[in-house]
Amino acid sequence: MDALVEVQNLKAYYRAFLYGVDREVRAVDDITLTIGRGEIYGIAGESSSGKTTLIKTIAGAIRPPLKVVSGKVVFHFAGGTQDMYAMTPDERMALRWLYLSYIMQASMNVLNPVRRIHHSFTDFAFRHMKVGKNEFFAKVGSHLERLKLDPHLLQAYPHELSGGMRQRMTIALATILTPEFIIADEPTTALDVIVQRDVLSMIREIQREIGSSFLFVTHDMGVHATVSDRVGIVYAGRLVEEAPTRKLFNLPLHPYTQHLVGSLPRIGDAKARPSLEGRPPNLAMPPEGCRFHPRCPKRMEICSQKVPPMITVEPDRRVACFAVTGDQA
């Protein structure tokens, strides 16, 4: 695989005072993954599993109480190879928008609510494009048309657009400079199913047209089935399985992935699918060994004693589970 982003043994913890005690919340704990050029890499996992913290850490958007404890995030952009945490804040800023951009769930936060939408494009992209105003707006117009958005919408205020249209406009804004890497955090979660489909096909189209790589985060496995090329499953701050999407859905290996895939509703279901017993762990006091073991139907003695390493079980898939790989140490 031609790697665009390499995340190596990344650990990022929050410092939190809980019940008067100073604790570390180990939200990202030793994650290693590679995102290929032109690939849509999905991250899935339930609420509080560390998805948002992982993408903030990859994007270099770190502020206290979050701290990168160890590990690396390396980008192989056209401008050269860069190590996110060896860069100065200015160098990091220079990457934003041009090479790396971010699509969030709450699109209103990006589009200035009291100004017409064209101002948002000017504010974010004009100085980077290094062309005159007329040429700039011609480029913005053709980018919108390419994404099947009417350029007249640039004259509108954000509140005049529907939620789905606003989100599509935010995606147009995030991609106007054709960044090589786009991070999307639950970009369709607040949208109804029909609008969600439009936004997902827009993301696929962008990936085809401008060849960007995406890191696509959502707890919704149905969305991953539609849009992601590969999926990494996160549980309690750790990556537990990674595979091409089709393989992951056809034959999930990790018991947690089996639960996620097995709990997807299917047409003809007479009753609700069983939910997993127990709750995800408190990341300030995670269980020893495999963090999933207290809830795992396949747990063995070793699972509470040792952290299962991520093992490559096929050239394109990895899993961290003693029940699958045995103890290979």
Ligand X SMILES: Nc1ncnc2c1ncn2[C@@H]1O[C@H](COP(=O)(O)OP(=O)(O)OP(=O)(O)O)[C@@H](O)[C@H]1O
Cβ closer to ligand X: 12 or 248?
Answer: 12
232 binds ligand X (CB under 6 A): no
Spatial neighbors of 20 by CB under 8 A, at least 6 apart, are: none
Q: For residues 65 and 211, which CB has a smaller minimum distance to ligand X in the complex?
A: 65
Q: How many residues bind ligand X (CB under 6 A)?
A: 15
**Interface of this chain with ligand X, residues 201 to 230, rule: CB under 6 A:** 219
Nearer to ligand X, 22 or 277 (CB): 22
The H-assigned helical ranges of the chain are: 51-59, 89-95, 117-129, 133-146, 163-175, 193-210, 221-227, 245-250, 255-262, 322-325
The nearest distance, CB 184 to ligand X, in angstroms, is: 13
- Binding of residue 104 to ligand X (CB under 6 A): no
**C-alpha–C-alpha distance, residues 99 and 77, integer Å:** 7
Site string for ligand X, 162-201 (x = CB under 6 A): ----------------------------------------
CB of 22 to ligand X, least distance (A): 12
Residue that is written with structure tokens 């707890």 in the block: 219
Question: Judged by CB under 6 A, does residue 49 bind ligand X?
Answer: yes
Nearer to ligand X, 23 or 118 (CB): 23
DSSP helix/strand/coil, 296: coil
Residues 194 and 10: their CA atoms lie apart, in Å, by: 37
Among 4-12, 44-52, 169-177, 303-311, which window interacts with ligand X (CB under 6 A)?
44-52
Give the shortest CB-282-to-ligand X separation in angstroms.
7
Distance between CA atoms of 245 and 216, rounded to whole angstroms? Answer: 13
**Torsions phi, psi for 255 (to 5 deg):** -55, -30
Angle at 168 between CA 165 and CA 174, to 5 degrees: 145
The residue ranges that bind ligand X (CB under 6 A) are 14, 16, 25, 27, 45, 47-53, 65, 219, 283
